[in-house]
Amino acid sequence: MRTVVVTGASSGLGAAAVVELARREWQVAVVGRDADRTAAVAARAGGIPLTADFDELDQVRALASELLSRFPRIDALVNNAGGIVSRRTTTPDGNEATLQRNVLAPALLTELLVPRLRAARDTGRVVLTSSVLNRLGGLRLDDLDFADRRYGAGWRAYGASKLATILYARSLAARTGLEAYPFHPGYVRSGFGAESRTARLIQLVAGSMQISPEAGAAPLVHLVDTPELGVPNGTYFDGLDPLGATHPSASDARLADELWQAVAQRIGVPTAVER
């Protein structure tokens, strides 16, 4: 049986995705921050619940260790956990919270699972939840934490993190040979932005424009479950469209490599992998 790990799966599109993937006969590792909600989703999907708080990198390391212990085969990893905060805060690891939740913690989990993913089928696959807001750009390697810039109620940091997600995916594909596909799920009705006053206001005003978690999960499921996607490795999808618009720097291979060097230093992993 094929095995997929899905983070951010205790609610919203992550929960909808694991239920559908289980229906398609994937064994699902359901990862969330809230133990009770995660267990409930896992029970619906017949999956295995695992908990980790991405605000603490040691919990991510422990999660990776448990996954490697439980699953001799991991075919796909979905990095769906993340979020936005309205006021700049730092995690116990000393990183700006949006950066850690959306970039550093997913990168750490991925890198620790790379050998297991590379051993699966012809090559493993990593799917990463990004956003159309990657077009806000604002990625500065000398200020990834937004210590010296206007935070913009969290949206500037969020946009930068979603651009970084695309660049990380492309670096991962180039370094490891793994298939890596970032995507925008659409404006999904969920608990996204619960810590952001502006996000809650936008949801209140534009609620009629939101799509269901099941609709938001559709591209995620497609990217995990489709054997041949017929696009270059590292392609960014806007929903099911492989021609999604990105910030101009999303195609900068040098920036992708420099970002990876900075990320690797922060999460304490080697910058190169053995072929």
Do residues 98 and 156 lie in contact, with contact meaning Cβ atoms separated by under 8 Å? no
Residue 84's CB is within 10 A of a number of other CB atoms, namely: 25
In the sheet that 179-184 helps form, which strands lie side by side, from edge to edge? Answer: 48-51, 27-32, 3-6, 76-79, 125-129, 179-184, 237-238
Residue 195's CB is within 10 A of a number of other CB atoms, namely: 16
Catalytic residue check, 158: yes
Do residues 66 and 79 lie in contact, with contact meaning Cβ atoms separated by under 8 Å? no
Out of 158, 168, 181, 236, the active site residue is 158
Structure tokens belonging to residue 101: 């939740």
> How far are the Cα atoms of 130, 155, 194 from residue 199, in angstroms, in the given order?
16, 9, 7
Q: How far apart are CA 233 and CA 180, in angstroms?
A: 6
Q: How far apart are CA 272 and CA 275, in angstroms?
A: 9
Q: How far apart are CA 153 and CA 69, in angstroms?
A: 40
Do residues 238 and 245 lie in contact, with contact meaning Cβ atoms separated by under 8 Å? yes
* Catalytic residue annotation: 158
